[in-house]
Structure 1
Amino acid sequence: MKLTREEIEDFLFHEAELLDEWKLEEWTSLFSSEGVYLIPPIGSPGANANKSLFYVHDDRARLVQRAKRLLKREAHVEYPHSTTLRNIHNVRIKEQNANQLKVICNFSTYRTKREILDCFVGVSEYTLVFEEGELKIKEKKVILKLDSLRPHGKVSIIL
């Protein structure tokens, strides 16, 4: 697997676009069959999920269920849906070999709902693989660079 940074950026920009447009089921299709989505505790990016409480620790099946649930009217925290705008910055290839690719990037996600603007900032760490000829996310780890979740108080959107 040999990809250019531009090709990786295009993939990440596509992911951001799907999330901003609330195409969550399409977003889940970007994950490999073994894909995981993680948000460790603030200040503990290397935390062990068996010993620490993660904001999100989803395997592929849970990820699909999260996406479906957020699209339903019964998901009161996100219905009507928030308006979001994601920016991807400083994309860096950390490791690239024949089987997988490790990429990190900075992000800012702006969310508006009920006339309140929240901003989530941090670093996303990706492990990308090719599965059935398509680039897929094997792991996405979102490391929030915030002091706390205040004033937000929660993460109700997918970062």
Structure 2
Amino acid sequence: MSIVNEKMTERAIEQFLFKEADMLDAWQLEEWLQLFTEDGTYSVPTTDNPDGDSKNSLFLISDNYSRLKARVKRLSNKWAHSENPRSRTRRFITNVQIAEEADGEIKFTANFIVYRMRYGFTDAYVGKYYYTLVNQNGELKIKDRKAVLDLEALRPHSRVSIIL
């Protein structure tokens, strides 16, 4: 069955992305985790190798579902030193484009800017998302979510302690 039909339009995908962005900006990480399939992945390649493969290249983040659950648990803990106090974030999603639909999956891309405010500083993470969604029991679920940064380096950011 096709995921993209009269109900699944680019607008519906945009609404899914906006809901996800709101969850992340509100630090509703447990709810966000529920958007993933149990074999879902989340990755962020290094800025110097955006097309790399996590099997043989260094990645900033390369989480399977188990590691993603652990990341959410750590970030949700008040003792998470890298995010205590928590950063305030604001996400902007643009240019959503369906790339491919096959075998019950839909692949699409979207541009993003995530502003991170903490300790009087504002950092901007700019890049492109690559998603694979599947329909599980009538709900869209994330099978793969890759955030490719357009930054040439992580300076002045120094790290990625938030979920992009």
Q: Could you tell me the TM-score, scaled by structure 2's length?
A: 0.94
Residue identity in the other structure for 1:49: S
Other structure's SS at 1:55 match: strand
| Moved >4 Å (runs of 4+) | none
Q: Is 1:97 equivalent to 2:119 in the alignment? A: no
> Paired residue for 1:153?
158
* Alignment gaps of 5+ in structure 2: none
Residue identity in the other structure for 1:17: D
Q: Deviations over 1:3-59 (max 9, x none)?
A: 200000000000000000000010010001110001011132221212221100001
Pairs within 5 Å for 1:124-143: 124-143=129-148
Q: For this pair of structures, how many residues does the alignment match?
A: 159
Q: Is 1:117 equivalent to 2:122 in the alignment? A: yes
Q: Is 1:24 equivalent to 2:25 in the alignment? A: no
In structure 2, C-alpha distance between the alignment counterparts of 1:26 and 1:68, rounded to whole Å: 12
Percent of aligned positions with the same letter in both sequences?
Answer: 46
* Alignment gaps of 5+ in structure 1: none
Q: CA deviation at 1:109?
A: 0.2
Residue identity in the other structure for 1:130: N
Q: Is 1:61 equivalent to 2:58 in the alignment? A: no
Residue identity in the other structure for 1:72: N
Corresponding residue to 2:89 among 84, 88, 107: 84
Alignment RMSD, CA only? 0.9
Residue identity in the other structure for 1:10: Q
